Structure 1
Amino acid sequence: MPMHRMPQSGDEPPGRRERKRQQQLDHIADTAWALFEAEGFEVVTMERIAEAADLSKVTLYRHFPVKEALLRHVFHRELRAAWPDIQPELARAAPGRARLARFLELQAAWCESRRAFLLPYTRFRLSDSRLPAEGRERSGMEAIFSELIAQGQAAGEFRADLPVALLAMHLQFAHLATLLRCLTDERLALADELATMLDLVCNGMGGRS
């Protein structure tokens, strides 16, 4: 099964007003990210971001109610941009567990490069999950897991008696639990823990013969 571009909301070309809005959001997020990297996430205030981005606090809070929402914008944009670029790398792995494992290796490397910012982002995403579905901003991970699982099913590597959405949901929860565990214990290597998680998801808790 061929690899596809990660599904996104609103695939039709945006209108001029929407393009301007996205440009403003990107400008604010880029300004905030530069400040976070230079001064530290905890130190930077929303007022500092508004000043550096040359906009009013009212405008900033209308688009981003908290600092963590700025991290969400940056990280989700990076995932959308990276997905097409890693297709050749993923295609070199066999569909199914091997391809999922390669994706998790790449994702672990990205997480390590953003480790200092991932805990506040993840906690924010957990609070965001309490909103109705239409009020959430999807990261894209669910769509990625769904596609990789569907490829594994088509290749006969994963069971096909359960829907992709259900399998992707279980994998996503296991992935999130592993990420949180590693972010709260610096002794743990995320790549190793994700590999263990994938083994548990694929093989269950049965004893080895």
Structure 2
Amino acid sequence: MTVSPPAEPGRRERKRLQQLDHLADTAWALFEAEGYEAVTMERIAAEADVAKATLYKHFPVKEALLRHRFHRDLRQSVASLGDVIAAEPAGTARLRKFFALSAAWSEQHRAYLLPYVQYRLAERRCPEDDSQRSGLERIFTALIAEGQAAGQFRTDIGAPALTVYLEFLYLAALLRWLTGQAPALQAEFDTMLTLFLGGLEVRA
């Protein structure tokens, strides 16, 4: 799996990202130690040794801190994910491998995923700041494009457009699991992916 990396940040941007990482990592340590619901923004600011105004400038709510942490972790893991996924044949096998890895990660972070997903869905548009984007669309686009190049997927619709459909199906499956409508995330992802790949119609 080949995913184009985001542009390398300049010195000023690197310093800003270091501060965002510090705030998000401080919040994460508190969430793990004291519980997500119990930790306040004021507590995070005090532990990070910054003014409350500084914290709120970058992260208006706790869910934004989760977003930064999760998205950074995904971007940093793209290379290792790519090596594992690339061991599978291009097309369906690689998509299924990605969702198997995603299910395992989600199981480990379930306590935080519902507020994170709800926050993302409530955002009016995707963040323009690349550091606040997950990179998931890059992964999906790469996997679909590789499947198209291998003759496994249809090519009359471009990979970026198909990625949009897949992202919404992914979120729907995740929400069904998080809200108790689906008992097992891996099975829910399998069902979702089968629907995405094969469509809804019964074929003779």
Work out whether the TM-score is over 0.5.
yes
For 2:127 and 2:57, the matched residues in 1 are separated by: 20
Deviations 1:13-57 (A, max 9, x none): 421x22221111111110000000111111100000001001110
Q: Identify the residue that residue 200 of structure 1 maps to in structure 2.
A: 195
1:131 aligns with 2:125: yes
Which of 79, 86, 89 is the matching residue for 1:94?
89
**Structure 1: gaps spanning 5 or more residues:** none
- Pairwise CA distance, 1:206: 2.8
Structure 1 position 12 matched with structure 2 position 8: yes
Question: Relative to structure 1, is the Cα distance of residues 78 and 124 closer, same or farther in structure 2, using a 3 angstrom cutoff?
Answer: same
Deviation of residue 163 (structure 1)?
Answer: 1.1
Count residues in correspondence: 203
**Paired residue type of 1:42:** E
1:6–1:74 distance in 2 versus 1, CA, 3 Å: farther
String of CA shifts for 1:136-182, please: whole Å, max 9, x gaps: 83211111111100000000100001111111111111111001110
Q: Which residue of 1 aligns with 2:37?
A: 42
The CA distance in 2 between the partners of 1:110 and 1:83, in whole Å, is: 14
Amino acid in the other structure paired with 1:131 = R
Deviation of the 1:208 alpha carbon: 6.0
SS of 2:128's equivalent in the other structure is: helix
| 1:78 alignment partner in structure 2 | 73
2:19 equivalent to 1:24 = yes
Q: Does the CA contact (< 8 Å) of 1:95 and 1:155 recur in 2?
A: yes
Pairing partner for 1:108 from 103, 108, 111: 103
Conserved 8 A contact 1:6-1:140: no
Letter in 1 for 2:99: L
Partner amino acid, structure 2, of 1:150: A
Segment of structure 1 superposing worse, 184-193 or 141-150: 184-193
> With structure 1 as the length reference, what TM-score do the two structures score?
0.92
8 Å contact 1:6–1:84 — kept in the other structure? Answer: no
- Corresponding position: 1:156 with 2:151: yes
Q: CA 1:204/1:187 → structure 2, altered by over 3 Å: closer, same or farther? A: closer
Whole-Å Cα distance in 2 between the matches of residues 18 and 187 of structure 1? Answer: 41
Structure 1: distance between partners of 2:41 and 2:5: 32
Asked if 1 retains the 8 angstrom alpha-carbon contact of 2:3 and 2:142, the reply is no
In the alignment, structure 2 segments of 5+ residues that lack a partner are: none
**Counterparts in 2 of 1:124 and 1:191: CA distance versus 1, 3 Å:** same
**Alpha-carbon separation, structure 2, partners of 1:131 and 1:166:** 17
161-170 vs 100-109, greater mean Cα deviation = 161-170
